[in-house]
């Protein structure tokens, strides 16, 4: 199987020498890169980067070489930026001045053995491979921070110290901190190391961000951007049924019930089955797609009939559609799902039905769409108009 490509480039960002890391959206690569303590996201350049230091190539190769092809030829070029020099450590301030972080060390043999035991336990409990990977990566970072401390001696104060000296000092997200907390709680509860009192560990407060929603006009532009019927059908099905990326790619032909106007989404997030309604227009598009492409097993197949369509390729399909539509927004596939839910709400669909269609366990998750729906807000008359 061909490894995904990661390109390293020289850049100057905010008057500092950095290494820009370019790759197509890939959760596994990103999880590995998050082990770099100084990984940052540039909103301006829409890419990840790290400050240059003498060990950066060694660090990146150590993390990514098993899973990706690394192209660093651009780092050898001259004339694109000034000669790179290691950046001086910068003191961060989080309530108090924090000294530069120590470099994360390799795991001890004891830590590796316990992590392997932990992974086997999660697999026996039927955790998804995605969750296993996320928890394992987060736990590795935490334990590498305490590589010289025996596991049975790690306690709650160590997690607080890690959050302050690693998570906050490196301006890592609350979401990532939450992943670490979840992984640490489950790990220490599983292997029964009593120094850590897991019931006293609290998750960080998360920002209550609103879902990103597109207008119906923007959705129409994106769905009609491709002439390729396969690409158009994939994006249309995500929007018309509120699917997650993995749910679309895991659909099989037997999951389409054309007579009842339904699709059956099997073992989705939380290992739950659910159904979603198919519109007449979507049924017709699926029929046209089937006659044109004749899939065998999966609704959307990759290079062969025995494998589903690739996640990275699906992301490219959306990216091309957005570019053709001339919409200047950082749109992801999940925006289509958010837009579907919001448009349903604006059409008067009951929240209980939207919750069932989207597969939300809690109604509070679905209720967030009431904050972005314009159905009621647009009826509010500003007192400014009456001045």
**Residues assigned a catalytic role:** 244, 269, 334, 337, 360, 369
Cβ pair 261, 241 in contact under 8 A: no
139 SS3 class? helix
* CA dist., res. 267 & res. 247, Å (int): 9
d(CA 298, CA 248): 10
Quote the tokens at residue 379.
Answer: 């009826």
Instruction: DSSP for 196-228, please give it.
Output: S-GGG--PPPPP-PPPP---HHHHHHHHTS--S
DSSP code string of 224-257: TS--SHHHHHHHHHHHHHT--HHHHHT-BGGGEE
Q: Where are the extended beta strands (E) located within the chain?
A: 5-13, 16-22, 40-42, 47-51, 69-71, 92-93, 97-98, 256-257, 262-265, 274-277
């Amino acid at each position: 199987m061909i490894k995904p490509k990661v390109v390293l480039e020289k850049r100057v960002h905010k008057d500092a020498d950095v290494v820009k890391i370019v790759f197509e959206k890939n959760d596994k690569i990103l999880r590995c890169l998050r082990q770099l303590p100084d990984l940052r996201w540039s909103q301006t350049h829409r890419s990840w980067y790290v400050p240059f230091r003498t060990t950066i190539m060694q660090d990146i190769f150590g993390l990514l070489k098993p899973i990706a092809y690394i192209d660093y030829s651009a780092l050898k070029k001259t004339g694109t930026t000034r000669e790179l020099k290691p950046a001086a450590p910068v003191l961060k301030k989080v309530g108090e001045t924090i000294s530069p972080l120590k470099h994360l060390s390799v795991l001890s043999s004891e830590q590796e053995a316990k992590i392997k035991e932990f992974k086997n336990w999660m697999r026996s409990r039927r955790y998804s491979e995605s969750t296993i990977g996320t928890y394992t990566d987060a736990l590795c970072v935490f334990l590498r921070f305490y590589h010289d401390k025996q596991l049975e001696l790690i306690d709650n104060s160590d997690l607080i110290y890690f959050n302050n000296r690693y998570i906050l000092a490196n301006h890592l997200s609350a979401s990532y901190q939450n992943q670490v907390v979840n992984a640490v709680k489950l790990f220490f509860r599983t292997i029964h190391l009593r120094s850590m009192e897991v019931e006293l560990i609290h998750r960080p407060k998360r920002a209550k961000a609103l879902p990103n929603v597109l207008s119906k006009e923007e959705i129409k532009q994106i769905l009609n951007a491709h002439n390729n019927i396969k690409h158009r059908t994939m994006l249309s099905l995500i929007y018309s049924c509120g699917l997650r990326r993995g749910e679309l790619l895991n659909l099989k032909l037997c999951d389409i019930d054309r007579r009842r106007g339904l699709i059956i989404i099997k073992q989705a997030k939380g290992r739950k089955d659910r159904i979603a309604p198919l519109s007449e227009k979507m049924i017709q598009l699926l029929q046209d797609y089937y006659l044109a492409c004749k899939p065998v097993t999966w609704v959307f197949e990759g290079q062969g009939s025995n494998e589903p369509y690739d996640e990275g390729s699906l992301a490219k399909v959306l990216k091309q559609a957005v570019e053709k539509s001339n919409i200047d927004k950082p749109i992801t596939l999940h925006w289509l799902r958010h837009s579907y839910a919001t448009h349903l709400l604006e059409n008067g669909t009951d929240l209980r039905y939207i919750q069932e269609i989207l597969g939300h366990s809690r109604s509070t998750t679905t209720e967030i769409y009431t904050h972005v729906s314009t159905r009621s807000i647009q009826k509010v008359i500003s007192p400014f108009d009456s001045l």
